[in-house]
Chain A
Amino acid sequence: MTFPLIASAIKVFVVFNLIMVGVALLTLLERRVCAWMQDRLGPNRVGPQGLLQPAADGLKNFLKEETSPAMADKALFTLAPIISFVPALLTFGVIPFAAPLPTKWGLVPMVVADLPVGFLYILAISSLGVYGIVLAGWASNNKYALLGGLRASAQMISYEIALGMSTVAVILLAGNVTLSQVIAQQQQAHVWFIIPLSVAFVVFFISAFAETNRLPFDLPEAEGELIAGYHTEYSAMKFSMFYIAEYSNMVTASALMATLFFGGWDIPFTTWDSTGDPRVLKTLLTLLVFGAKTFVFLFTYIWVRWTLPRFRYDQLMALGWKVLLPLSLVYITLVAVAIWFIRVRLGWEYGTGMALVLGGLNLVLLIALVYWLDRGRIVSGSVQEEAA
């Protein structure tokens, strides 16, 4: 009884600190990568290569004056950063981050809580983060902040639907909602879900950007139009909490993409990690692999931010409701029929063969999708358009 409790407490402590340190380094990474893409140097004065910059920023935020607008709703104004901060940190709790660790007292699963409801918990808790943004916008009693809050609530609800729908395909194939089962299923077939469910990944990827309010979908803060949107009136540590919430949401979204579509902590091209006796070395190596996969997506977040311009609000809504939602509904139907046909009619179990057949289907769908979305704009080049 006591050992699992102590193990859980240690895991909570370690995961919390890893995320906080990761978020701190991510702010530095964002600025350095941005500088690199714009052919500048970026912050490199504090510590070697600017590594202590996040610590300096944190100290600055602690020591800055907290301003509070005279006409603001004091209680909600203070509560809003907390409401956006807490769900952002809670969601990581169900993501398995390494192979089970053997200890003297028994096997410790490397996940804070392997809930039976699995990643439905992530969807539920992450849908609460929007309250922080909406309340921040409303409580500030500032029209730009209010507009940012309104945009945030509409945007996050719209893309939550597409996000949820894209994961239905994963549940259909995995047959279970717990993330450890999703990973186990991918390990058994030696094929990650990105192959049989690539269209779902595309929808998930786009929706995850909108859910975390990152460019090209950062309309709630859109500094060119709304000053800074929902956090216009915030300063010092309260502002910093919104910042940390955004980055930890990014970490969770990246970890979730790695888990659902890229095998989680599975080491590619080997069965050594998931079969045989658990060993400490395995735990460490799988943790490293999981970290690497998450890092790739985090880098992509930053990469996209400094590559694409911001959407217009009507374009954002049109993409969510008129493209992604119908697309994912059609996709669920097609995948469900395909899975039913292969499982019931052909009598196959899920394995490499089934994954490859579904992969073929997805490839066709993906090509059709890209062709339709593009409609001769990028692939054929803009030269034709100018001539016409």
Chain B
Amino acid sequence: MTLTFFWIFGVIAMGSALLCITRKNPVASALWLVVTLFALAALFVLLDAQFIAVLQILVYAGAIMVLFLFVIMLLNLGRPGPTDIRGPAGLLTATVLAGALLLLLRPISEAALPSSIQLPPGTVQALQQQQGIVGSVANPLFDAYLIPFEIASVLLLAAIVGAVVLAKRKL
């Protein structure tokens, strides 16, 4: 059952990701990316990570991609433009690079997971039973990884301030 769903959503994710990079219309590309994000959220649910799945939809599909569309529409880029891959030389380079990436996938598929990130089956379910669906994500975040978490938030704040300064020279 789970394996069937994995293949369904995996194929949707791959297909929509391919469509996202091959469409010439920016709005269509953005929408295919939304479909990809949805398929990924479904894969997260199959991994018993419902909280991450919901956040994926809420933050990426529901907020960031809407802003992408906003910018595309505001700059009126919505009509199909010329393709990025120009001429036979560009096409050749793209094919070679894609082939190299596919070759890289082989050793990854053969390699085993390192034992340090392998959990005995049922650990995640037990953790969620004990700490709740949000707690099993929040507890490590605010306990073991508190300092990296807070530093990341300061980094994001600095990025926001930087963006405001760049966009508004005169405050």
Q: Which residues of A contact B (CB under 8 A)?
A: 73, 76, 115-117, 120-121, 123-125, 127-128, 130-131, 134-135, 137-138, 146, 149-150, 153-154, 156-157, 160, 171, 176-177
CB distance from B126 to the nearest CB of A (A): 14
Q: When A127-B58, A138-B73, A160-B63 are in contact, do A116 and B27 touch as well, CB less than 8 Å?
A: no
Cβ-defined contact, A150 with B63, below 8 A: no
Q: List 17 A-B contacts (CB under 8 A).
A: A117-B51, A117-B54, A117-B133, A120-B54, A120-B58, A123-B58, A124-B58, A127-B62, A130-B62, A131-B31, A131-B66, A135-B31, A135-B69, A150-B70, A153-B66, A154-B70, A171-B134
Cβ-defined contact, A150 with B50, below 8 A: no
Q: Chain B residue with minimal CB distance to A134?
A: B69
Contacts of B73 in A (CB 8 A): 134, 137-138, 146, 149-150, 153
CB distance from B6 to the nearest CB of A (A): 20
Contacts of B27 in A (CB 8 A): 73, 76, 135, 138
CB distance from B19 to the nearest CB of A (A): 13
CB distance from A125 to the nearest CB of B (A): 7
Q: When A146-B73, A160-B63 are in contact, do A131 and B34 touch as well, CB less than 8 Å?
A: yes
Cβ-defined contact, B62 with A160, below 8 A: yes
Cβ-defined contact, B57 with A124, below 8 A: yes
Contacts of A123 in B (CB 8 A): 54, 58, 62
Cβ-defined contact, A120 with B69, below 8 A: no
* Assembled-state Cα–Cα distance A177/B128 (Å): 13
Cβ-defined contact, A117 with B50, below 8 A: yes
Other than the given A124-B54, A157-B66, A177-B133, 15 more pairs (CB < 8 A) read: A117-B54, A121-B54, A123-B58, A124-B57, A124-B58, A127-B62, A128-B57, A131-B66, A131-B69, A134-B70, A135-B31, A135-B69, A137-B73, A153-B67, A176-B132
Cβ-defined contact, A116 with B63, below 8 A: no
* Chain B positions 90-114 with a Cβ under 8 Å from a chain A Cβ: none
B20 part of interface (Cβ distance < 8 Å): no
Determine chain B's interface SS by DSSP, over half rule. helix
Contacts of A135 in B (CB 8 A): 27, 31, 69
Contacts of B69 in A (CB 8 A): 131, 134-135, 138, 153
Q: When A76-B27, A150-B74 are in contact, do A116 and B50 touch as well, CB less than 8 Å?
A: yes
B33 part of interface (Cβ distance < 8 Å): no
* Chain B positions 31-78 with a Cβ under 8 Å from a chain A Cβ: 31, 34, 50-51, 53-55, 57-58, 61-63, 66-67, 69-70, 73-74, 78
Q: Chain A residue with minimal CB distance to B134?
A: A177
* Assembled-state Cα–Cα distance A137/B134 (Å): 37
CB distance from A278 to the nearest CB of B (A): 25
* Assembled-state Cα–Cα distance A240/B96 (Å): 51
Contacts of B50 in A (CB 8 A): 115-117
* Chain B positions 124-143 with a Cβ under 8 Å from a chain A Cβ: 128, 132-134
Q: When A117-B133, A134-B73, A157-B66 are in contact, do A125 and B51 touch as well, CB less than 8 Å?
A: no
CB distance from B127 to the nearest CB of A (A): 13
Cβ-defined contact, A128 with B67, below 8 A: no
Contacts of B66 in A (CB 8 A): 127, 130-131, 134, 153, 156-157
Q: Chain B residue with minimal CB distance to A75?
A: B28
Cβ-defined contact, A157 with B57, below 8 A: no
CB distance from A45 to the nearest CB of B (A): 42
Q: Chain A residue with minimal CB distance to B50?
A: A117
Cβ-defined contact, B62 with A116, below 8 A: no
Contacts of A154 in B (CB 8 A): 70
